[in-house]
Amino acid sequence: MKRLFSNLTFQVIAAILLGVLVGLYFPAFAPVAQRISKMFISLISMLIAPIIFFTIVLGIAGMSDMKKVGRVGGKALLYFEIVTTFALIIGVAVANLVKPGAGLAPSHGADVGKVAQYQQQAGEMNWGDFFTHIIPSNFVEAFAKGDILQVLLIAILFGFGLSRMGSVGQSLTQSLDKLAKVFFNIMYIVMRAAPIGAFGGMAYTISTHGLQTLKPLAMLMASVYLTMALFIFVVLNLICYLFKFSLWKYLKFIRQELLIVLGTSSSEPALPLMMDKMERLGCARSVVGLVIPTGYSFNLDGTTIYLSMATIFLAQVFHVPLSLGQQLTIIGILMVTSKGAAGVTGSGFIVLTSTLAAIKVIPVEGVALLLGVDRFMSEARAITNVIGNGIAAIVIAISEKEFDREKYKLAISGAASEIGEQTHH
């Protein structure tokens, strides 16, 4: 029994359930709960930039063939595009089949003020600027702001620069490796507070929105969750089968990361953890360092499903008949707009608003309908994104013959699955 209570997975589940009860019966606790959740996410966020930097630099510096870096990156981007396209198609298909928006009054839950804010932000979005933004104006600013894509670029360039030094740079490589271990050990310490963060996030959600707010849009929520389940257990499961590893054992191995995402409603706290877990699962550090951080901006399976379904949902609510051609156009636009979702504050609504503005057939103010329940669907989005990115890392590692099957067997047997059980190698 003592071992059960000390298990982090059990603690996070208990904290989530306690958060639901506190949110229901003590709604005045909402501001404190929000503060608790934000503090935990901030603790994780401060570690993301250095962990990404060290992992990528050490991965590239350890590669003898620099052409391999470009090949791994190219494979990853191709894989991301193929899989997210499947996610979009499934989202549109289920939305058309289930018709979650049929019979819902458009006036329900409208919040004109918030919509105007999102409209303004969407109007300011420029996807060309998004890609040019990847290049930071200075070295320090990227780390200060915690901009993942900018840190990624700096790390790749730094890794290339270090690799060109050959044996002369070996001492620096060893020092960076030691620093990386320090940051991973800090992460293990911070993760002991995961139940507190999960409790705060869930208590705030329930106390702010309440369970009753789910009723009018329950059909959409059910459809989104169903579609993401289909995507994970059909599409991703097929990918796992083709590359000869088990989806179920993989999910069991990352169960704690998924629970943290569920509690905090954010995939960000899981980023450094997933990078560590994928290495322990058998993926080469060089592959993990390139695929996982890049996937957070270019492999948003859950986000693309949500965006496609939300668009079709709003078309149904406002009785806007969309032809097959228009739906294919929406898919094409979403293939572009969804790629920027991770780097934008309030990404779901901003990207959705910009997409609606682009297709010009669905009232943009319709996004107000989703404000009340978006928080409850964000868990599904984040969990799907995390699962998809981990599988992408394994697939690319296997294709590059950089996947250690013995290490994989040891990991899924339970020898290295508990956070904090071992220090980072």
With beta carbons less than 8 A apart as the criterion, state whether 136 and 153 touch: yes
* Residue 106's pLDDT band (cuts 50, 70, 90): low
How does DSSP assign 268-301, residue by residue? TTHHHHHHHHHHHTTB-HHHHHHHHHHHHHH--H
Ranges 138-147, 283-292, 361-370, 377-386: which has the least confidence: 361-370
Cα separation, 126 vs 334, in Å, equals 14
Question: What number of helices (H) and strands (E) belong to the chain?
Answer: 21, 0
**Span 275-291, pLDDT tens digits:** 889 999 999 988 898 88
Residues written for the chain: 425
- Widest distance between CA atoms in the chain: 69
pLDDT confidence of residue 242: 94
With beta carbons less than 8 A apart as the criterion, state whether 73 and 238 touch: no
- Of 154, 84, 113, 178, the closest CA to residue 423 belongs to 178
DSSP state of 137: S
pTM over cut 0.85: no
Cα separation, 14 vs 79, in Å, equals 37
More confident residue, 259 or 319: 259
**Span 150-183, pLDDT tens digits:** 887 898 889 888 888 878 888 998 899 899 889 8
Contacts of 217 (CB under 8 A, 6+ apart): 104, 109, 369, 370, 372, 373
Q: What is the residue extent of each domain of the chain?
A: 2-415
- Of 274, 210, 195, the closest CA to residue 37 belongs to 195
DSSP state of 372: T
With beta carbons less than 8 A apart as the criterion, state whether 88 and 305 touch: yes
Ranges 158-162, 236-240, 268-272, 283-287: which has the least confidence: 268-272
pLDDT higher than threshold 60 for residue 356: yes
Give Cα 321 distance to the centre of its chain: 32
Q: Which two tokens stand for residue 113?
A: 């003020």
Q: Which two tokens stand for residue 329?
A: 């156009």
Pick among 1.10.3860.10, 3.40.50.920, 1.10.3720.10, 3.40.190.150: CATH of 2-415: 1.10.3860.10
SS3 state at 165: coil
Cα separation, 120 vs 318, in Å, equals 22
Around Cβ 253, how many Cβ atoms within 10 Å?
22
* Residue 403's pLDDT band (cuts 50, 70, 90): very high
